Amino acid sequence: MSGTPQFLNRIYFWHIMSKQIVSVFFALVLIACSNSSSKETASTPGPGNRPASPPIQAEAYVVKARVMSEDLEVPGTLLPYEETEIRPEVSGRLVYLNIREGASVAKGTLLAKLFDGDLQAQLQKLQVQLQISDKTVERYKELLKIQGISQQEYDLAELQVNNLKADMDLVRVNITRTQIHAPYSGTLGLRNVSMGAYVSPTTLLTTLRKVDQLKLVFTVPEKYSSLMKKGNQVKLNLEGAKQKFTANIIATENNIEANTRTLKVLAVVNANGTLLVPGAFAKVNLQMDKNNQALVVPTQSIIPQARNKKVLVFSNGAVRSVIVETGIRDSSYVQIENGLNLGDTVLTTGLLSIRPESKVKLTKVQ
């Protein structure tokens, strides 16, 4: 029995030791967890510990004055200076045809003639009647002197003579209508009839064109109609031709086309040659407006808005947006009519990522 208390003491000792070991283990675990969380906290910066973002790199342009003109290119068509469709005035059979395709003819040249045998016979008959009536008038004149006839009979004889002369003039006019002459000097087109064909006023014999000088017809938008003045010069280019031509405006239509809102303009080309062919397509270059001291910026610096336009101006390391009014433009630059001053620095790149509070570093200034 003496060994029993000693055995119990040992059990109690190990029980106490095991509790201490467990307590120490949990303490170590807690210390490790706290150290781990503190490291994570230190490694994850808070809002106040975030590093500053690098500045946005962008390019800029310094506003300057330069010569600015608004050029407009519109399609045009070359036309002959004069063009006439040759058709007969009356119906009949062709007895003479002098239409050489592509040949040049002078004004008044006889191009074609219709059969006029019946009219010539009618004219001869009237000439015979006129001779008889003239002799009758001469006899009546002598008889009137001796009171052989009344004045009324003599007047009726003279009236008959005048009627015959009028009928002869009418027949001569009808004979003239069977002859077709060139109304002006020009070049003949293709022949559409042959000798002996029966033609009518609806039959197209050929076309006569005056091509030693050409016209140019084109249209411009309504906003430029006031600039199309008589005498103004325009430039034109032709497909496949390296040479450039000029033309002077001679007239404009007296109204704006309602469907297209354009004005029709007519000009005379100041040249001639094989390259200038009627009906050819032409590119007409118009210089609508010019400003020798226009403030300009590159087109890519303009940011379109719903109701206006703006640019980003860089000044003293800060960026601010400025609403501007634009004017004429070309392929690279836009005129600024209001909103900017000479020497302002305008950003040209990175416009979508830059905000008013953004830090910007200029990499290139034009």
Three-state SS sequence of 59-123: EEEECEEEEEEEEEEEEEEEEEEEEEEECCCCCEEEEEECCCCCCEECCCCEEEEECCHHHHHHH
User: Which whole number is the average pLDDT over 247-264?
Assistant: 91
117-145 and 151-177 helices cross at what angle (nearest 10)? 160
Element (H, E) at 15: helix 3-43
Point out the least confidently predicted range of 32-41, 80-89, 241-250, 326-335: 32-41
In the CATH scheme, what is the code of domain 57-69+291-365? 2.40.420.20
Say how far apart CA 26 and CA 29 lie, in whole Å: 5
Task: Give the lowest-confidence range in 43-47, 105-109, 200-204, 222-226.
Answer: 43-47
Q: What percent of the residues of the chain are helix, what percent strand, and what percent coil, each to the nearest 5?
A: 30, 40, 30
pLDDT in the model for residue 32: 59
Q: pLDDT at residue 57 above 90?
A: no
Query: Span 84-199: which CATH code?
Result: 1.10.287.470
What's the pLDDT at 24? 57
Q: Which two tokens stand for residue 228?
A: 């199309």
pLDDT of residue 78: 92
Residues paired with residue 219 on neighbouring β-strands, in sequence order: 264
Distance CA 193, CA 302 (A): 64
pLDDT of residue 41: 44
* Whether the Cβ atoms of residue 79 and residue 214 lie closer than 8 Å to each other: yes
Three-state DSSP class for 188? Answer: strand
Q: What is the C-alpha separation between 257 and 260, in angstroms, rounded?
A: 6
Where does the pLDDT of residue 28 fall: very low under 50, low under 70, confident under 90, or very high at 90 and above? low
Q: Does residue 60 register a pLDDT over 70?
A: yes
Is residue 317 pLDDT above 80, yes or no?
no
pLDDT bucket at 37, cuts 50 / 70 / 90: very low
Judged against a pLDDT cut of 60, whether residue 8 lies above it is answered with no
**DSSP secondary structure code for residue 257 in this structure:** B
pTM of the model: 0.60
CATH class of 72-79+211-290: mainly beta
Instruction: Render pLDDT for 266-277 as a digit per residue (tens, 0 to 9).
Output: 999 988 777 788
pLDDT at 252 over 60: yes
CB 81 within 8 A of CB 185: no
The answer to whether the beta carbons of residues 123 and 168 sit under 8 Å apart is: yes
Q: State the average pLDDT for the chain.
A: 82
* pLDDT given at position 5: 53
Note the pLDDT of residue 352.
72
pLDDT at 2 over 60: no
pLDDT average, residue stretch 283-299? 78
Q: How confident is the model at residue 116 (pLDDT cuts 50, 70, 90)?
A: very high
Average pLDDT over residues 334-343: 82
Q: Which residue has the tokens 């032409």?
A: 282
**Cβ contacts of 45 within 8 Å, gap of 6 or more:** 51
Q: Is 188 within 8 Å of 82 (Cβ atoms)?
A: no
The angle subtended at Cα 321 by Cα 319 and Cα 323, nearest 5°, is: 155
Higher per-residue pLDDT: 131 or 306: 131
